[in-house]
């Protein structure tokens, strides 16, 4: 895929799960993790930033 990467915010209440998801997503050059959040409210705020 050419062009802009897919921008992702990871949301989960378990830090270990977030870290695992980040590792998996970071292995794909077409995905850019732009933030993490421990709950839904923080995820929405991170997505708006």
Dihedral class, residue 3 (left if φ above 0, else alpha if ψ from -120 to 50, else beta)? left
- Token pair of 31 as six digits: 């995905």
Q: How confident is the model at residue 13 (pLDDT cuts 50, 70, 90)?
A: very high
What are the tens digits of pLDDT across the range 22-43?
999 999 999 999 999 999 999 9
> Would the pLDDT of 1 be above 60?
no
Q: What pLDDT does residue 6 have? A: 97
Extents of the domains making up the chain: 6-48
CATH class of 6-48: alpha beta
Give CA–CA dist 1/37, Å, rounded.
27
Q: What is the mean pLDDT of the chain?
A: 94
- Token pair of 22 as six digits: 């980040």
């Amino acid at each position: 895929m050419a062009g802009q990467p897919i921008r992702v915010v990871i949301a989960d209440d378990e830090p270990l799960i977030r870290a695992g998801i980040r590792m998996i997503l970071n292995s794909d050059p077409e995905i850019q993790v732009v933030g993490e959040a421990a709950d839904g409210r923080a995820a929405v705020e991170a997505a708006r930033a």
